[in-house]
Structure 1
Amino acid sequence: MRLRLLVALMGVGAALLCAMPAASYAQSCEMKLGAMGPMSGGAAQWGLAMKSAAELAAAEVNAQGGVKIDGKQCKVVVVPYDSKYTADGAAAGSNALAAEDIHLIIGPVGSPEATGIKPVAARNGQLAWNAAYAKNSLEPKFPLMFHIAPGPAVWADAVIKRAEKEFPMKSVALIAPNDQGGTDIVSVDAEAYKANGIKTSEEYYQRGTTDFAPIVTRILASNPDVVDTASSPPGDAGVIIKQLRLAGFKGPIGRLGGPGTAEILRVAGGLDVVKNFYWFETVPTEDPKVQEIDSLYKKLLGKDPVGGTAVWADLPAARMTLKAVSLAGTDNAKAVAAELRKMPVDDPNIGKGYWTGKKQFGIAQELSFPFGIGIIKDGKNLGVERQPARPD
């Protein structure tokens, strides 16, 4: 009797083991994935978006049993690092993550961070995905650096041409931080405006500035038709717009820099304050498949993602990296990079795109997906218009 009971219990135990979700097997080993970007200060939304994207990609693969390394199913754990939008911060982050045996990094975000991380990550044998719009975001001498999306050299002209249909303009003043994260982007934006017959002027500020009154005064004195906040972080851009409106500026405001419109509206005081606005979105944000990403995050992680639409733009890179790990059977950066280069650019939520970058950087390690152009006119949000992915 006892023998039959023991056999029955063993059978039940085996059945329960077979019925356990694949994620249970991921506990036998662990792979750490870095997530880097500014997670404090005016650009915090962008860094937190990197973290949220990495978390969702990790949760998706963990629900399927994790990534396959050396024949084992390994759980992915995200380790964030606040690189504070500085070169030194990103370099320190690379070393800190390397000390935890982390070979793959989603991030960093800005041009100063990209400059700081490239040589250090190369020494550490780390693969990283930057989202910078610097003119040297990618370089052939750093083959383990990948790029999340094209910069304004690819899409600025399309945004300007669409904006001119709503807001005819002859002059624009561009505002950005006085480091590579500002100067590189403004120089490209200015070329695009000039190519459309629009006169440009430039204003720069120290990153961390909270009172833009001197800049606002100079802008009002020059009387431009439009002010463009370029690559100013969302928090800074919101303050700039608020102070411009309080000082009496009535013209449209543009943003040929990065995503963050929801945060800009919040800081500035809403649609009635912003009034007339055009901007670039890294993904077509009104596509239901794209919006579905937030629901996926909440379903798998039990909370809302942090970082706004930038999360959606950062996610494909994180997903592709983890897929490449399983294909390579290792988290060795060189092996993962080799698998990435062979993969098609195709995300279940964002759609199909291209590997680009060869023309601008000399190395085709940049993701080009469909993007969007947004318009707010007379205090009404006209939405974000989808634009096709652009090959080199």
Structure 2
Amino acid sequence: MRQWRLAAALIAMPALALAAPCELKIGAMGPMSGSGAQWGLSMQSAAELAAAEANKAGGIKINGETCKVSVVSYDSKYTADGAAAGANVLAGQDIHIIIGPVGSIENAAVKPVAARNQQLAWNAAYANNALEPRFPLMFQVSPPPAVWADLLIKRAMKTFPMKTVVIVVPNDQTGTDVAGVDAAAYKHNGVTATTEFFQRGTTNFAPIITRVLATHPDAVDTASSAPGDAGVIVKQLRLAGFTGPIGRVGGPGTAEILRVSGGLDVLRDFYWYEAVPTDDPKVRAIDDEYRALLGKDPMGGTTFWSYLPGARLTLKAVQAAGTDDAEKVAAVLRTMPVEDPNIGKGYWTGKKQFGIAQGLFFPFGIGIIKDGKNLGVERQEAQPE
């Protein structure tokens, strides 16, 4: 009998030794190639750092078992089809938490797919329906221009007085929705705004630049154009002789615009929105932590910093819920205070615009470049709705 028990124990040992360790997989989705790559890579970097922080703290408990957090990335290529496919691919790997998607066209495709797959997702979209009560598993990493465009324009006009502006945006929902909000904000400040649309994927903006310059605007606003596209627009505007200020009332991405356009001397006079106060040492320290924990440089520039709080809060909600069930995690997330160790105190927002308060609103920044000199990013505190 003793020999039988010993044999049974020996047979059982390999099974115990080979038992797979608990792993919580989260998704990172966005355009990780092409002109919008800065935004998608920011989502990936945010997910990676939040996961690394959780693992350093000992992991996340799921159903009483401590799990290591890992990140699975998907390049949605800034298309509706790519984003919908990404949500399904991640669902196929039993992933219920997604940091992403980015743009409005991606978000529109992901909302119903994620709802069907029971996935909680974080978008960075600025569409008028970026959040909807009928999709309660969708959250937003930062508020759209309706919240901050007026403040940005008021600040810009102190440095760059203007009476007319042309808004240059893609001819999809990302562009049309933001162009409407920006135009209204300019009008509120006494500036006449007109809009020029381009097909996403355009590489030669010369015909559009010609039409823009024919109207002799005081300023040009690249609004929600992808950072790579905006950089090309800036470069071609300057080459064509435009000397007025260029704005970015439609989202962050200035680092990539600087790189593509040719630098400060090309930008020369520029005003833009930053989703976080990027000159704050505590905010800039995020990159140092990323390098220390992951042994490489983060991708995505300053937008990475603004996407990080949503990823951090979500993993805290998973830990508190004790499960990665999207509905249970979302229920916990809605009750959590909006705070981040690097960025500060914020608020849930979105009830007024979307009918559902599932957007994060943290302190943000307004940046000014004057005569080729970067004057820095001025901190603006978040306000509750």
* 1:28 to partner: Cα distance: 2.4
Amino acid in structure 2 at the alignment position of 1:194: K
Name the aligned partner's letter for residue 158 of structure 2: K
- SS of 1:129 mapped into structure 2: strand
Q: Tell me, what secondary structure is at the counterpart of 2:45?
A: helix
- Deviations 1:180-205, CA, capped at 9 Å, x for gaps: 11111111000000111100110011
Percent of pairs with identical residues: 73
Q: Does 1:73 align with 2:66?
A: yes
The alignment covers a number of residue pairs equal to 366
In 1, distance between residues paired with 2:163 and 2:319?
Answer: 53
Could you tell me which amino acid in structure 2 is paired with residue 47 of structure 1?
G
Structure 2 unaligned segments of length 5 or more: list them.
Answer: 1-19
Deviations 1:194-224 (A, max 9, x none): 1111001100111111100000000110000
1:338 aligns with 2:331: yes
1:231 is matched with 224
Per the alignment, residue 279 of structure 2 pairs with 286
**Displacement of 1:86 after TM fit?**
1.4
For residue 391 of structure 1, report the CA deviation from its aligned partner.
1.5
4+ runs deviating over 4 angstroms:
none
Gaps of 5+ in 1: 1-26
Query: Counterparts of 1:1-40 in structure 2 under 5 Å?
Result: 28-40=21-33
TM-score by length of 2: 0.94
For 2:54, the equivalent position in structure 1 comes to 61
User: How far off its partner does 1:299 sit?
Assistant: 0.3
Aligned to 1:17: none
Q: CA deviation at 1:64?
A: 1.2
Q: How does 1:127-206 map to 2 (within 5 A)?
A: 127-206=120-199
Q: Match for 2:238 among 245, 256, 266?
A: 245
CA separation in 1, counterparts of 2:61 and 2:80?
33
- Structure 1 counterpart SS, 2:334: helix
Q: 1:43 corresponds to which letter in structure 2? A: G
Q: Quick one: which of 280, 302, 309 aligns to 1:316?
A: 309
Question: How many angstroms does 1:390 deviate by?
Answer: 2.2
Deviations 1:142-180 (A, max 9, x none): 000001110000000000000000000000000011101
Matched to 1:298, the amino acid is R
Task: Specify the alignment match of 1:105 in structure 2.
Answer: 98
AA aligned to 1:112 is: I
**What pairs up with 1:324-363 in 2 under 5 angstroms?**
324-363=317-356
Where does residue 48 of structure 1 map in the other structure?
41
CA RMSD of aligned residues (A): 0.7
**Separation in structure 1 between the aligned mates of residue 358 and residue 145 of structure 2, nearest angstrom:** 17
Q: Secondary structure at the match of 2:129?
A: coil
